[in-house]
Amino acid sequence: MRKCSLDSINKIFGKIAETNKLYLPVDGSDGVAVYTKWEEGKEWSNALNTVRSPKDFFFPQVENLMEFKTSGKNIELTDIREEAEDFVIFGVRACDVRSFDILDRVFLTDPVDSFYASRREHGVIVSVACSKPSETCFCQTFDNIDATNPLGDVTAWKTEDSVYFKANTEKGEAFMKKIESLTEECDDTAVAAEKDKIAAIMKKLPLKDLSADAFGGGKTDTFFNVPEWDELSATCLGCGTCTFVCPTCQCYDIKDFNTGNGVIRYRCWDSCMYSEFTKMAHGNNRLSQKERFRQRFMHKLVYYPENNEGIFGCVGCGRCLAKCPISMNIVKVMKKIGGKVNE
Amino acid sequence: MQRVGVFVCWCGSNIAGTVDVAAVAEALKNEPGVVFSTDYQYMCSQAGQDIIKNAIAEHNLTGIVVCSCSPRMHEATFRKTAAAAGLNPYMVEIANIREQCSWVHKDMTTGTEKAIILGKAAVAKVNLNTPLTPGESPVTKRALVIGGGIAGIQTALDIADAGFPVDIVETKPTIGGKMAQLDKTFPTLDCAACILTPKMVDVAQNEKIRIFSYSEVEEVGGFVGNFDVKIKKKARYVKEDICTGCGACVDKCPMKKNPNEFNLGMDNRPAIYIPFAQAVPKVATIDPNACNMLKNGKCGLCARVCAAGAIDYTQKDEIIEEKYGAIVVATGFNPISMEKFDEFAYNQSKDVITSLEFERLTNAAGPTAGHLERPSDGKSPKTIVFVQCVGSRCDACSEKGKEYCSKICCMYTAKHAMLTRDKYPDTDVYVFYIDVRTPGKNFDEFYRRAVEEFGVKYIKGMVGKVTPEGDKLKVQASDLLSNKQLHIDADLVVLAAAIEPDKSARPLATMLTASMDTNDFFTEAHPKLRPVESPTAGVFLSGACQGPKDIPETVSQAGAAASKVIGLLAKDKLTGNPCVAHSNELMCNGCSSCERVCPYGAITYEDKEFRMPNRTTKIRRVASVNPAVCQGCGACTVACPSGAMDLKGFANSQIIAEVDAICK
Amino acid sequence: MNKNFIQEEILRSSGVNPKKCMKCGKCSATCPAYDEMEYHPHQFVSMVENGDIEPLMNSKSLYRCLSCFACIDRCPRSVQPAKLVEAVRLAVVRQQGKNHLTANDIPELIDDETPQQLLVSAFRKYTK
Amino acid sequence: MQVKEYKPLIVAFCCNWCSYAGADLAGNNRLNYPADVKIIRVPCSCRVNPMFILRAFQRGADGVIICGCHPGDCHYTSGNYYTRRRMAALFSMLDFLGIEKERTRVEWVSAAEGAKFAATMNEFAQTVASLGENKRLEDLRCKK
Amino acid sequence: MQKITRDQLVEKAVALLSDGTVSAVLGWSRGEFDYDITPAVFKSAEEVKENFVWNDFCGANFSKYLVAQTGKVEGKILVFLKPCDTYSFNQLLTEHRFDREKVYAVGIPCEGMADIAKVREIVGDGIVSIEDDGESLKVSTLYADAPVLVGAKDVMAERCVNCKSKKHVAFDELMGEDGEVIESARFDEVARLEAMTPDERFLFWQNELSRCIRCNACRDACPACTCEKCVFDNPDSAVENKAPANSFEEKMFHIIRAFHVAGRCTDCGECSRVCPQNIPLHLLNRKFIKDINEFYGEYQAGAEVGSRAPLVDYTTEDLEPGEVFERGDQDA
């Protein structure tokens, strides 16, 4: 374990930025933290989290896949893939770190999404423990997310005056090497204290008792037709806010854009809340907002764990709790249809 | 996917001179959907049309693009060609590579590049065209003629002759118009009244014709075949059906000193009057601004002397509503005001007059009973100067005059000069001219007779100024051929004033939604091929409202307009423009935005039941467009927020395709 | 100096388009100095149009035009003959290389035949 | 290397009855205007949807002009009055977003105003050229 | 902050449900915290008694829900309308978007709603409870030892600070006292932007709109955006997309959306309230409202049912699009 003083953290950023693009949460003009490319003068935000999750760096909202041109009956394809450069995402919270595991299971299983895979290969994730979790946090509901000791290539702890680093992977070791001269070796006393402090707060969180035990693979029939869906979805506006701020939502649509000089085939995020989602030749397969609403939560709580060894498709980051225009969210859904709160 | 054929026209050298037509045809070959592309000298010719027809059959074309002149010129032609070959006529698009390309660009490269882009845009559009079928609407078999001059009279007579009822609306108390004020007519010199008044009587006696004299068109609604017109019949305070036109009231009326409009104010008429002896209808009219009874409630003399009891001081304006299948505009002309021509002293001397005033001065029924007398002192003029082109042929930015040639002045001036010399051989008659324009049957011969037989002095040059001095008019003029400045002491100066459309034409055009040129002459649907039709369907043009004309031309145009009207009224049904708006009910919100902007009231709403998910239904209010009433402006398409309203033939997708093609 | 060049200069500096002329002669009909002039206003227009400028420049009557602008006012085609006359005068002055004038130069230039108007306009033009 | 002369691309929406005819008249009278002006015929200026205008900018247009009958002369009596309101609002909004107001214009050109059409296009093309390429409403994907 | 109490509203709703006047209630439902309130359709008195909530976070405008709910519910539906909601209510009626006969509208006074983001700015994260004591909010957090008092006015939402009207323009029944139309300073921010140079404005909007993630929350919450099929969802419309592919599409979306609601937008402010990226979208709508007021005379959408929206109206004397800027230049 190594540490540096909080005051000198910008030196570390400078060092990393020499060789890699470095992204970290920076307060925007409206005071809200946004993952921003670090450059001299940008300060690491004290905010707990960003509105948009770090998923964007591996699975951007819009991504061009290829270009093609037709002339007469000929078609000419161009691979426009840009080889991803090495980059570092700094300050990722435990919940968001877990989201990469969830995304990996989708994008890195056969057939591998080579665009995503390439970015994962080139990206180093530096996580940071949550010293001040919010009332909307409920990562404890899901197994193996530890806000006191997040995963990632490197784990960091930020205390009053210092930042502590610990490498978890080979990429992490390389990262540590790079900042070696700016950090000093230390023991884990301070980190242990910080962990205890966080653990104490976690026990006070209002959603600490939320349990996902009622959900999981094989529960489709249990929940699919419960009458509560009507009530829960009654005032859903059908916007895509929850899906677009969600670190684990991974649906996209592939579209063609005719530039006049050829066609760009690109993909962009899609939302199961949208009426046009997965529209097929026969029309839409989920016609009502209730069905679309149900799909999203069933996917997170039942379908995904069913296909992925019981791992839930939610990480408890709380973004949807904060951002849904009508304050409807997965917690309300779990409580309503999941029966009892964990005692 | 369409199978598109592209046909590039050379238009002789009009297009081929600045556009490499072969290159255009070649370039368009590679556009999506294009399966055939060629070029030819004259696509609009029979041979050119045959190329199109053959290609449609041979290549099984589903759409064609003709790169040629403006669609305003030959779109209809090529639509017919397509139809003849079995293709829906609305599967034709025109790329305007003449008016908007070869004629405005001088350089071959530029012209060719642009022509290709315009062609691509047309191909992009036609790829999205769908076959359209025009709707049908019934035809009201009655025509309206606005204006009762010789143009209106002839049109009405010809239409009535074919058996269709016609109404004439005339603002004056009598029909007859300008021609009734004329003395003789060129080049035959027959008396205007002798040839006009029998026609007026014919109109009066024709059972198919109704005359609304002293009336104006108030409002026009509807569309071709189905116009709804409101006509205001102004109160004349005389019961038209009872008045016998005996004239007793006119004789007895004490309010005698009112300028007589018919004689251009050169003498007076009573407050109750009949404009002239042969007026039709021959009915008295009370001038409410002059009648003491109407103004102050004192007098009532005319009512007392009227044996028939036709006087009715309580008469009110009356609104008549009638339906018409066709409307003919025959609003005629007026001489322009001479007020601004200070140099000719029109305002300073009574002896400077216009040609129309001269006409009344020489007319046997005029203020001087046909004796040529000076308006100022009644003396016979010994030297008369005629000035041509007063206010005609002016610069476009002139505030005084008009840019166009008034066409009739050369001939009537020759007539006036000749008649003066004929009746008063001791009078010196000078005519100052810029050019003498006599293109007409027997016109030049007429002019030469004035010079050679009657000794009228034609001087090439212009009058620069007229100065009244004593009882003379000092005329300073140039004689260009002898390179001299002339100074003539004249007794009378006659100005050949330019003519302009009647002032009522502009508001009428607005009511009719018929277009006008900057001079307020009505525009034709095509200057050569459709000269008597306005671009607004069902509105036809007769006489000088369309441009300056003499009587023979007016009469022939009147007949032509009548034949177009007859052709329209003979149909039982009209096929409409299929490029109308239509609403996609699935997307319509029923919000009424479209209804509010529709100028024709073509959009109505109905509650419809829609299938919803899970076997439920929902009743929603949705818009529907009446295709017979819709004129296809597209205002609704933009007012509609959901994009449910679209326009056939000019669909959102089609216009966007054109934008994309152009901006490539 | 080249003939075409002078013609172009005259057209440019006057802003007159002689092609607009319809040869009605109203300018000459209205001209108060007509009889004093060797070439009359309508001839000015047509001669400039034809590039026949030397006779105009050499004509003594060039300065007989009073610049009263009656021809400009009356011309139905807005040709503005008086502006052409002025432009030809300018061409003459230019050719003589006399493009500047001070108030002191004026008295000796005055003779009885020079119109006042000319002096004023010349002064305005050459003292900028 | 020779620098390609910058020529603005201008899309002109012309109503069928007045302005398109005015453009034809400009052609009849052989009045020049830049070839970069491309005309799209619409039945009435009120057919022009703001989406078409944005689309043109997206696709690489540097200026968009809408021509219709003079107010009061609309073939459909009132279409151009709606155009006038819509475009006044839209242009003001574009300006509010900082997009050069000179790139958009509404001009009334009658069927008799061939000269005005040509003069307007010349002037507009010049104005747009002086602004340079449309950067603020461009879609880089379409600029290749 | 609110003058009317939850109990009064619950009493009203229960009474109307019980006497059969209405068969459903559109109201605010209790959330996990004191601020995350969800609009809900209550079908029984029990549900109302248990979950109905009324506090300073009941900002949601229910008018739009009537479009869907009037078609779903048998009998009448009770809707509680704050003054600003009544304008949207009228505008939707003008556009025939729901059946007035199926609605029982109760107007309720509103003293302005709080903005949780503003609360957070003051007290920080970890809010566990918020109590309203009339003048201020008592906020307890995970990290402060004692509850923090924040002034109600200090955390009032922007749209409420610039409230345009406390007057109800539509209702079947009014609870509490009606207010008046207010001369607000709501156009000041628009005017401030107008006074900037075009370059500054461009940068301002570039910065704001670049954050857009096209979640469509603004559109989906907007009571004027009730289209059966939005052009941005319609693959045939040529503007459809599910994400803003670049800065052009960001601008296009917001220009077209604002244009589509121009003259119809009542300035309720829902768009900005729901934007997860804090883009001040209401400024675009207000720009149109301000322009329309200046060009064509004062017009308040929804002030009365059946009024003709300015963009589907005209006079022959309207100013020319070019004159819009001459006017602006004079101002500057």
> What is the distance between the terminal CA atoms of chain B, rounded to a whole angstrom?
21
| Beta pairing partners, A66 | A79, A265
- pLDDT-derived band at D1 (thresholds 50, 70, 90) equals very low
CA B463 to chain CA centroid, nearest Å: 33
pTM of the model: 0.73
Nearest residue of chain B to residue D51 (CA atoms): B656
B643 touches chain E (CB under 8 A): yes
Identify which of A149, A141, A150 has the alpha carbon closest to the alpha carbon of residue A100. A150
Residues B225, A267: Cα–Cα separation, whole Å: 55
Are residue B493 and residue B354 in the same domain, yes or no? yes
- Name A85's Cβ contacts closer than 8 Å, sequence gap at least 6: A20, A21, A122
Domain ranges across chain C? 3-100
Separation in Å, CA of B505 to nearest CA in chain D: 13
CB count in 10 Å sphere of residue B378? 9
Name the region of C15 (left: φ>0; alpha: ψ -120 to 50; beta: rest).
left
Q: Nearest Cα to E63, choosing from E45, E42, E35, E39?
A: E39
Low-confidence ranges of chain B (pLDDT < 70): none
Alpha-carbon dihedral of residues E311, E313, E315, E321, nearest 10 degrees?
20
Between chains, do B394 and C77 touch, taking CB under 8 Å as contact? yes
Task: Please report the pLDDT score of residue E224 as a whole number.
Answer: 95
D141 within some domain: no
Question: B322 and B469: one domain?
Answer: no
Between CA E193 and CA E287 the distance in angstroms is 10
Backbone angles phi, psi at E213, to 5 degrees: -110, 10
Question: Residue E92 domain-assigned?
Answer: yes
Say if CB B198 and CB B298 are below 8 A apart.
Answer: no
Say whether residue D60 is in contact with chain A using an 8 A CB cutoff. Answer: yes
Residues E136, E59, single domain; the answer is no
DSSP string, B125-184: HHTT-------EEE----EEEE--SHHHHHHHHHHHHTT--EEEE-SSSSS-GGGGG-SE
CA distances from D39 to B662, C80, D10 (A): 9, 38, 8
Per-residue confidence in pLDDT tens, chain E, 332 aa: 788 999 999 999 999 999 999 999 999 999 999 999 999 999 999 999 999 999 999 999 999 999 999 988 889 999 999 999 999 999 999 999 999 999 999 999 999 999 999 999 999 889 999 998 878 899 999 998 899 999 988 999 999 999 999 999 999 999 998 999 998 899 999 999 999 999 999 999 999 999 999 999 999 999 999 999 999 998 888 888 888 888 999 999 999 999 999 999 999 999 999 999 999 999 999 999 999 999 999 999 999 999 999 999 999 889 999 888 765 444 43
At residue B609, φ and ψ (nearest 5 deg) are: -95, 130
Q: Please tell me if residue B563 touches chain E, with a CB cutoff of 8 Å.
A: no
Please choose, from the candidates D8, D41, D92, the residue with its C-alpha nearest in 3D space to the C-alpha of residue E262: D92
Same domain? E326 vs E228: yes
CA E83 – CA E111 distance, rounded (Å): 10
Say if residues B62 and B3 touch (Cβ distance below 8 Å). yes
Residue of chain B with shortest Cα separation from D50: B638
- Does residue E297 share a domain with residue E209? yes
Q: Are residues B362 and B453 in the same domain?
A: yes
Query: Which of the residues A231, A241, A290 would you substitute to probe the E interface, choosing the one with the greatest number of E C-beta atoms within 10 Å?
Result: A241
Q: Does B410 touch chain C (CB under 8 A)?
A: no
| Residue C122 predicted with pLDDT over 70 | no
Give domain status of residue E315, yes or no: yes
CA of residue E60 relative to chain centroid, distance: 7
**B118 domain-assigned:** yes
Which residues of chain B does E94 touch, with a Cβ-Cβ cutoff of 8 Å?
Answer: 592
Mean pLDDT, residues C56-66 taken together: 86
Q: Which residues of A touch B664 (CB under 8 A)?
A: 260-261
Chain A nearest C-alpha distance from B30 (Å): 6
Q: Mean pLDDT, to the nearest integer, of A168-182?
A: 94
User: Which residues, other chains included, contact E16 with Cβ-Cβ below 8 Å and sequence gap of 6+?
Assistant: E22, E25, E78, E104
DSSP B330-390: ---EEEPP-TT-GGGTTTT-TTEEEHHHHHHHH-TTSTTTT----TTT-PPPSEEEEEEEE
| Amino acid symbol at B31 | E
- Over its C-alpha atoms, chain B yields an Rg (Å, rounded) of 31
Taking CA atoms, A60 is separated from A121, B53, B364, in Å, by 15, 54, 96
Residue B178's domain comprises 143-234+317-332+502-569
Tell me if C26 and B478 make a contact (CB, 8 A cut-off): yes
Q: Which amino acid is at B283?
A: V
Residues of C within an 8 Å Cβ radius of B: 20, 22-31, 34-35, 40, 42-43, 70, 74-79
Q: At D100, phi and psi to the nearest 5? A: -55, 125
Average pLDDT over residues A289-306: 94
The reply to whether E75 and E166 lie within a common domain is yes
Shortest CA gap E290–chain A (Å): 25
**Chain A to chain D Cβ contacts (< 8 Å):** 11
- C-alpha distances in Å from residue E57, one per residue of A135, B505, E137: 17, 65, 11
Q: Which residue has the higher pLDDT, C3 or A325?
A: A325
CB contact residues (below 8 A), chain E span 280-319, against chain D: 284, 287-288, 291-292, 295-296, 310-316, 318-319
Phi, psi (degrees; rounded to nearest 5) at C123: -60, -45
The nearest CA of chain D is from the CA of A262 a distance in Å of: 9
From D110's Cα to the closest Cα of chain A, the distance in A is 33
Measured CA to CA, the distance from residue B664 to residue D143 in angstroms comes to: 9
Q: Would you tell me how many other CB atoms lie within 10 Å of the CB of residue B313?
A: 17
Buried-state track A122-142, b at ≥16 Cβ within 10 A, e below 16: bbbbbbbbbbbbbbbbbbbbb
Helix axes C41-49, C81-95, angle to 10 degrees: 60
Query: Residue A193 pLDDT more than 90?
Result: yes
For residue E81, the cross-strand partners are E107
d(CA E265, CA C126): 65
Q: What is the pLDDT of residue A342?
A: 38
Report how far residue A268's alpha carbon sits from residue E246's, in angstroms, rounded to the nearest whole number: 11
Pair (E269, E205) in one structural domain = yes
E121 shares a domain with E100: no
C-alpha to C-alpha distances, B102 to B78, B528, D125, nearest whole angstrom: 20, 22, 19
CB D45 within 8 A of CB D106: yes
**pLDDT score, position D78:** 84
Chain D residue with minimum CA distance to B118:
D38
| CA B483/CA B474 separation, integer angstroms | 19
Residue B138 lies in a domain: no
Q: Same domain for B482 and B344?
A: yes
Residue-by-residue DSSP string for E68-113: HHHHHSSS-EEEEE-HHHHHHHHHHHHTT-S-GGGEEEEE------
Chain B residues touching D85 at Cβ < 8 A = none
- Alpha-helix runs per DSSP H in E231-269: 247-261
CA distance C81 to C71: 6
| Range in D83-92, D116-125, E130-139 the model is least confident about | E130-139
Contacts B–D by Cβ distance under 8 A: 158
ipTM: 0.83
For residue E81, CA distances in Å to A309, E9, E86 come to 48, 11, 6
Q: Report yes or no on D5 lying in a domain.
A: no
C3-100: CATH number = 1.10.1060.10
With respect to residue E109, please indicate whether it lies within any of the assigned structural domains: yes
Please give the pLDDT value at position B526. 73
- Which residue from B224, B298, B356 is spatially nearest to B631, judged by alpha carbons? B224
C-alpha D29/C-alpha E14 separation (Å) is: 79
Alpha-carbon distance E324 to E330, whole Å?
A: 10
* Chain centroid to CA E62: 9
Single residue among B95, B126, B157 that ends a domain in this structure: B126
Reduced to 3 states (helix: H, G, I; strand: E, B; else coil), residue B540 is: strand
Domain spans of chain A, in order of start = 2-52+81-202, 220-252+269-337
Both structure tokens of D103: 């790139």
State how many domains chain B has: 5
> Is residue C89 pLDDT above 90, yes or no?
no
Cis amide bond preceding B552, omega within 30: no
Give the model's pLDDT for residue E331. 43
Instruction: Find the domain containing E92 and state its range.
Output: 6-113+162-174
* Chain A: partners with 3+ C-beta pairs within 8 Å: B, D, E
E80 and E212 together in one domain: no
B32 φ/ψ angles, rounded to the nearest 5 degrees? -55, 135
Q: Which of B340, B400, B410, B485 to mutate to test the interface with C (most CBs of C within 10 A)?
A: B485
Dihedrals φ, ψ of E229, to 5°? -145, 115
Q: What is the DSSP letter of C63?
A: G
Residue D124 and residue D10 in contact, taking contact as beta carbons nearer than 8 Å: yes
As for how many domains chain D has, the answer is 1
3-state secondary structure of B25: helix
CA distance A49 to E71: 41
For A27-93, give the secondary structure using H, E and C: ECCCCCEEEEECCCCCCCCCCCCCCCCHHHHCCCCEEEEEEEEEECCEEEEEECCCCCCCEEEEEEC
CATH number of D98's domain: 3.40.50
Residue C121 has pLDDT above 90, yes or no: no
Distance CA A59, CA A96 (A): 13
Q: DSSP class of residue A295?
A: H
Q: Which of A63, A68, A69 is nearest to A81 (CA)?
A: A63
